[in-house]
Amino acid sequence: MKSTRSAGRQQRTTVAWKGIVILLGITSCALAGNGPGVAFKVGVQTFESPVSLEDTTRTRYEMELASQLFANDRLDFALSVGGSSLGEHKDADSGVFEDDAVWELYSTDELSLIDIRLAARLHPLGQEGPIRPYLGAGVGYFWFLDSWKDRYYETIEDPDFPGTYITFEDRDEDTETLGDGFFPFVMAGVNVAIHDNAELLFEFQYDIEKEDSGFDFGGPIYMFGARFRF
C-alpha cells in the first residue's frame, strides 16, 4: 500500500510540475509580444552629396534595441545605430617637379555617415491585430567620416650614378571626422505580426538639420526589416 501511495504521489507531483512548466510557457508566450526586442533594418536614405552637392540616395543599414511596451502596450523607446557608405573617391597628382625631383601623390578617400539615435514611439492601437502602426520622434548624433590613404613617390637622380634614377615610396592613412553633431528626427511606420514574438516592419524617418561644417545630411529614410521581442 505504501508503495502504491508513494507512486501516486510521485505521479501527481510530476503532473503538477508539468502543469507549472506549461503555465510558465503560456505566460512567456503571452508576454513575448510586448517585451524588449531587437530589430535589423535595411533601406535607403537621400541627402545632399558632400562631393557633388547634389541629392544622392545611398543604402542604409540599422540595428535597433527596443524597450518593452508600456502604457497598455502603446509606448516604447528605441536606441538604434545605423549608417551608409558614401563611396570611394580617388585623386592623383603626378609629374610635379620640385628641387630636381618628381613627386607623385595618389589619394583614396572612403566616406561614410554613421549615427546613433534615441526615439520615443507611440503605438495607437497597441498590439491588437496583425497590423500595428506607430509614430515617433527623437534625437540623434551623427559622424561624417573620411578614412583616407595616401601614397607618395619621389623620384630623383642618383648623385653617384648620373642618368640613374631612384624612387622613394611613403604611405600614410588615418580616419578623420569631417562633420558631426546632434539632430532631431521624426518617424512613422507599421509593424506586421508574423508570430507571437516576431514582426516585419516598414518605416519612414526624416532627419532635420543634420548638418555641420557646410555638409547637410538631412532628408528622408525608408527602411524595411524585422523585429524580435522577448
Cβ atoms 162, 129 nearer than 8 A: no
Q: Give the DSSP letter of residue 27.
A: H
| Predicted local distance difference test score (pLDDT) of residue 183 | 98
Cβ atoms 165, 158 nearer than 8 A: yes
| Predicted local distance difference test score (pLDDT) of residue 95 | 65
* Long-range residue pairs from 46-53, CB within 8 A, at least 24 positions apart, any chain: 46/219, 46/220, 46/221, 47/113, 47/207, 47/210, 47/216, 47/217, 47/218, 47/219, 48/215, 48/216, 48/217, 48/219, 49/86, 50/86, 50/111, 50/144, 50/178, 50/215, 51/86, 51/87, 51/89, 51/111
| Predicted local distance difference test score (pLDDT) of residue 99 | 63
Phi, psi (rounded to 5 degrees) for 178: -90, -20
| Predicted local distance difference test score (pLDDT) of residue 98 | 61
Distance CA 200, CA 141 (A): 26
Distance CA 213, CA 144 (A): 10
In the structure grid, which three cell numbers stand for residue 48, read together? 545632399
- Compute the C-alpha angle 52/46/187, nearest 5°: 150
In the structure grid, which three cell numbers stand for residue 81, read together? 545605430
Beta-bridge partner residues of 183:
140
| Predicted local distance difference test score (pLDDT) of residue 133 | 97
List per-block mean pLDDT (blocks of 10 residues) for the chain, which spans 230 residues.
42 46 38 80 96 93 96 96 94 70 86 98 92 97 95 81 80 92 98 92 97 95 96
CA distances from 195 to 29, 134, 229 (A): 10, 18, 10
Q: What is the Cα Rg of the chain in Å?
A: 29
Q: Give the DSSP letter of residue 69.
A: P
| Predicted local distance difference test score (pLDDT) of residue 25 | 40
